[in-house]
Amino acid sequence: MNVLEATGDAAIRGLGYIGGLTIQFWSGLCASPRVLPIIGKHGRWRAAVRQMAVIGVDALPMVGIMSVCAGFILAMQTGAELRRFGALQYVMDVIAVGFTRELGPLLTAFVVGGRSGSAFSAEIGTMVVTSEIDALRTMALDPIEFVLAPKYLATMITVPCLTIMSNAFGILAGAGFMYISTKITPAMYLRYIFNSMELRDVVTGMLKSLVFAAIIVNVGCLEGFRTRGGPDAVGRSATSAVVWSTFLVILADVFFTAIFYLLHQV
Amino acid sequence: MADPMISIDSLTVQYGDHRVLDGVSLDVQPGEVMALLGGSGSGKTTMLRHIIGLERPTSGTVRIRGVDINRCSPKELKDIRCTMGVAFQECALFNSMSIEENVSLPLRELTTLADPVIEIMTYMKLVAVGLGQAAKQMPQELSGGMKKRAAVARATALDPEILVFDEPSAGLDPIVAAGLDEVILALKRAFHMTILVVTHELASAFRVADRLAMLYKGSLIAVDSKDAFQKSTHLRIRQFLDRVPDPIAESTAVRDRFLELAGMAGGRK
C-alpha cells in the first residue's frame, strides 16, 4: 500500500467513524425521552439511575482526590511565581477561573472516560460477542433504547454534576494553600473567589462538560457496538474507547476554548 | 398445501470474493420441524442470521408469513419478530439479569400485561423447560444445559409461531442434549410451532425433525424426509451420515502449499 492509498484509507475510516458517532448520537438523543421517568418506558429510568450511581457516585472519590491534588499543584505553581511580584492574591483568580473554565470539566472527563467510557465499551462489546445484542434485536427490542439510552442520559446528567464537585474540590484545595501560605481565612478566600468568578466562566465550563459527556458516552458505546471477534476484541475496544475519547475531549476543548475566546473578544 | 411459514428464495450471500450462500431456496411449512444440517463452514449460521433478519442478503428473499423481511417497514419487521423466538448457540442470556428477569423481559417490554400475570407466565415457561427451581439464579450460576433451556424459555415467552434454534445440542452431553430434544418436541406438540433447528448433531436432527435440509459449501444439496435422507446415495450426505472424514492431506490446496514450501511453486493453479 503506497502513501496515497494509506492516507485515503485512513481518511475513509476516520470519516466512517465520525459518521458512526453522528448517527449514534442522533439515535441516542431520539431514544433519551423514552428513558425519562413517567413519560418513559417501564424500568428504563431505574436502569439510568443505576448507571448514574456507577458513573457518578462511584467516581466521586477519584474526581475529588484528583481535583484536590490539581488545586494544590495549581496554587503552588502559580503561587511560587506570583509571590516574586507580590501578587500572591492573584492565585485565587487563577484557581477560580482555571477550575471553572478548564480544569474541572477536563479532569472530570478524564476520570469518567477512563472509568466509565472503557466500561461502556467492555460491557457492550461483551454483549456483542455473546450475541446478547442480536438477541435484543430478535426480540424486537432496540439496542439503542435498551442499552445506550440509559447510559446516555446518566452520563449527560452526572458529568456536569461531577464537574461542579471537581470545581468545588479544586477551589477548596486552593483555600488550604492560601491559609498555609498567607493565613487568609477560608471565609475571606471564598469571598474573593466569588468576586473574581463570573457567571460566564461557570456556564462555559458546564457547556464543555456536557460536550465531553456526549463524547465519552458516544465513543464508549460505539467502540462496544463495533466489537467483532472474541474476548481479546473486547479488550481492544475498551482501550480504543479511552484513547479516542481522551483525544476527542482534548480536540473539543481546544475548539470550544477558541470559540469562547473569540466570543469574548467581540 | 398451506402457504409456507418461512420461504427462502434464491438467497445469495457474498462477503468480498467469498460466496457463503449460493442461491439457496427452502420452504418451511406451518407446524413443521425442519433441521438444517451441514458441516462447519457450510453456511448454516449465515443462513440462520438471514432468516431471523439480522443481516441483509446480497440477493434473494426471505419471507416470513409471506412478508419479505428485508423490504418490509420497521413496524412490520417488529411484528414479525414478535412472532419469532430465537435460541442462540451461545444462549445470549443477559448476565446482569436473573433467569426469571431474562424470561420475563419480552413480556415486560412488548406486552401490556400486569406484573402478576407476567410473573405467572414466566414461571410457566420456566417450568415447561424444567427450570422452575432456578428462577432466581443468575445465568453464570447455571450449567450449560440449564442455560440452553433458559434460552428456550425466553424464546418461547411470547408464544411465538416460529421458533429457531442455533446448534441447541452443541457442547452438551448426550443425556442433556436428549432432554433438550424432548423440550423441542414437547413445544411442537403443545403449541404446534414451526421450528427450525440448525445443527450438525445427527442424532438430535433425526429425533426432532419432520424434514431435513443439508447445506454444503453454501448450496442446499438435499431437502427431504428423514427416511429419504437416511437412504440417500448422495456422496456428501453419505459422508456426513457415515462420519467419513475429508482427505485433508490430499486436498489440492494442501498439496500446492507443500510444493510451494519445497520451492517447487507453480504446481497447480
**DSSP assignment string, A118-152:** HHHHHHHHHHHHTTHHHHHHHTT--HIIIIIHHHH
pLDDT on residue B17: 87
A9-18, A243-252, B183-192: segment of lowest average pLDDT = B183-192
Q: Which residue has the higher pLDDT, B212 or B251?
A: B212
Contact A212, A109 (CB under 8 A): yes
Beta carbons of A139 and B52 less than 8 Å apart: no
Q: What is the mean pLDDT of residues B98-119?
A: 93
B15: part of which helix (H) or strand (E)?
Answer: strand B6-15
Over 60: is that where the pLDDT of A117 sits? yes
Over 50: is that where the pLDDT of B28 sits? yes
Alpha carbon distance A94, A193 (integer Å): 10
A253 and chain B: CB distance < 8 Å anywhere?
A: no
Cα-flanking dihedrals φ and ψ of residue B55, to 5°?
-135, 160
Contact B219, B26 (CB under 8 A): no
DSSP 8-state assignment for residue A69: H
pLDDT digits (tens, 9 = 90+) for A231-259: 889 999 999 999 999 999 999 999 999 99
> Which one of A43, A134, A146 has the shortest CB-CB distance to B92?
A134
Residues in Cβ contact with B252 at an 8 Å cutoff, skipping those fewer than 6 apart:
B268
How many Cβ contacts (< 8 angstroms) between chains A and B?
48
Question: Where residue B250 falls among pLDDT bands split at 50, 70, 90?
Answer: low
CA angle in degrees (0–180, nearest 5) for A132-B153-B174 = 95
Alpha carbon distance B48, B190 (integer Å): 24
- Give the percent of chain B with pLDDT over 90: 55
Identify the CA nearest to A175 among candidates A81, A106, A79. A79
Over 70: is that where the pLDDT of B36 sits? yes
Over 70: is that where the pLDDT of B249 sits? no
3-state secondary structure of A194: helix
Report residue B22 as a C-alpha cell: 449460493
Cα separation of the two ends of chain B:
49
Cα dihedral A204, A209, A212, A217 sign: negative
Over 70: is that where the pLDDT of B248 sits? no
Q: What is the mean pLDDT of residues A186-199?
A: 89
A142 and chain B: CB distance < 8 Å anywhere?
A: no
Alpha carbon distance A113, B71 (integer Å): 40
Alpha helices, H only, A87-230: 90-97, 104-112, 118-129, 132-138, 143, 149-182, 186-196, 199-225
pLDDT on residue B269: 45
A97-101, A169-173, A198-202, B262-266: segment of lowest average pLDDT = B262-266
Q: Which residue has the higher pLDDT, A110 or B184?
A: A110
Alpha carbon distance A50, A59 (integer Å): 13
CA distance B52 to chain A (A): 7
Q: What is the mean pLDDT of residues A56-84?
A: 92
DSSP letters for B230-269:
HT---HHHHHHHTTPPP-GGGSHHHHHHHHHHTT---S--
Over 80: is that where the pLDDT of B222 sits? yes
A237 Ramachandran zone, left/alpha/beta (phi>0; psi -120 to 50) = alpha
CA angle in degrees (0–180, nearest 5) for B31-B36-B37 = 145
Question: Where residue A54 falls among pLDDT bands split at 50, 70, 90?
Answer: very high
Identify the CA nearest to B166 among candidates B217, B201, B142, B190. B201
pLDDT on residue B85: 93
Q: What is the mean pLDDT of residues A93-118?
A: 94
Residues in Cβ contact with A35 at an 8 Å cutoff, skipping those fewer than 6 apart:
A41, A44, A45, A47, A48, A145, A149, A150, A152, A153
Q: What is the mean pLDDT of residues B149-171?
A: 90
A38 and chain B: CB distance < 8 Å anywhere?
A: no
Distances (CA, A) of B57 to B51, B52, B167, B192: 10, 12, 22, 29
pLDDT on residue A124: 95
> Which one of B53, B54, B109 has the shortest CB-CB distance to A141?
B109
Beta carbons of A138 and B82 less than 8 Å apart: no
pTM reported for the whole predicted model: 0.86
Beta carbons of A140 and B82 less than 8 Å apart: yes
Over 80: is that where the pLDDT of A24 sits? yes
Report residue A68 as a C-alpha cell: 484536590
Q: What is the mean pLDDT of residues A5-9?
A: 92
Q: Residue A74, CB half-sphere, CA atoms under 13 Å: how many? A: 27
Contact B126, B184 (CB under 8 A): no
Alpha carbon distance B95, B99 (integer Å): 9
Over 60: is that where the pLDDT of A144 sits? yes
A140 and chain B: CB distance < 8 Å anywhere?
A: yes
pLDDT digits (tens, 9 = 90+) for B51-87: 999 999 999 999 999 999 999 999 999 999 999 999 9
Q: Which residues of B119-144 are buried (b: 16+ CB within 10 A; e: fewer)?
A: eebbbebbebbebeebbeebbeebee
Question: Where residue B5 falls among pLDDT bands split at 50, 70, 90?
Answer: very high
Contact A224, A241 (CB under 8 A): yes
